[in-house]
Amino acid sequence: MPEPLHVKVFRFNPESDVAPKFDHFQVPVFDNMAILDVVMHIQNYLDRSLSFRFSCRIGMCGSCAMYVNGRARLACRTQVSSLKTRDITVMPLPNFPIIRDLVVDMEPFFDKWKKIKPYYLPKKEIDAPVTVQPDSDEREFIDDMLDCISCGCCYSACSMVATHKDYLGPAALNRAYTLIADKRDAIRVERLKAVDRSYGVWRCHTQFNCAEVCPKNIVPTRSIQNLKRRCVLKKIGVFK
């Protein structure tokens, strides 16, 4: 019988608790166990009041992001064995208001998405069914960036988000870039104006914390740097 996991879980209910605390649990291990299995075991057998969010269990929905052993991760895609330790600390994502225990309020995160208008608006004159070919350089350039599942890991890891609540953050800026780089989009210039602000792209100091934690291996810093270049091109009248 392998040694059980020693799991320390952040607990806080803002409605009833004066201050956050940590609860300790012993959790039995099984093969291919993920962090999501760990917190589900706690909820099913040890403490039914533990709150956390999850849905797809296959790394698609982005709802189970947690701060595990000092790093933002998707609970469903993080194998216990990958942590190389029996001591596990699970906390809610930093930089988000806490609703309860491991559940955070994603509202500020998505409010920033709204500011960049995260939906595609086509130019009216485009009639062709496929304007950007799937194998074109233009398409390949943004392909990786389109994989974002809006889990909030990058937002929680960004020290610039931590220092100012108005900074748009890596996820929203990455999304803006995928649309601004799309020549079919009708409001590219408007989008670029929305990010060309002190608390837009210029807040990023290229620390790559976002890229470090992204479970989809996206590099939002690269998108932000590309946006900065486009801001310069807009100033000299090249970007239209």
Q: Confirm if 46 and 63 have CB atoms less than 8 A apart.
A: no
Strand partners, 65: 74
Residue 179 engages another protein in binding (rule: CB under 8 A): no
For another protein (CB under 8 A), the number of binding residues is 13
Residue 120 half-sphere exposure, CB side, CA atoms within 13 Å? 11
Report the distance separating Cα 140 and Cα 134, nearest Å: 7
Pattern 188-207, binding to another protein, x per CB under 8 A? Answer: --------x-x---xx-x--
Question: In the complex with another protein, which residue's Cβ is closer, 81 or 207?
Answer: 207
Residue 232 lies near another protein (rule: CB under 8 A): yes
Among 88, 160, 161, 176, binds another protein (CB under 8 A): 160
Q: Collapse the DSSP code of 136 into the 3-class scheme (helix H, G, I; strand E, B; otherwise coil) and give the result.
A: coil
With binding defined as CB under 8 A, does residue 231 bind another protein? yes
Q: How far is Cα 145 from Cα 43, in angstroms, rounded to an integer? A: 35
Return the residues of window 44-73 that contact another protein according to CB under 8 A. Answer: none
123: contact with another protein by CB under 8 A: no
Describe the crossing of helices 170-180 and 107-115 by its angle, rounded to 10 degrees.
Answer: 30
The residues that touch another protein, with contacts defined as CB under 8 A, are: 160, 163-164, 196, 198, 202-203, 205, 228, 231-232, 234-235
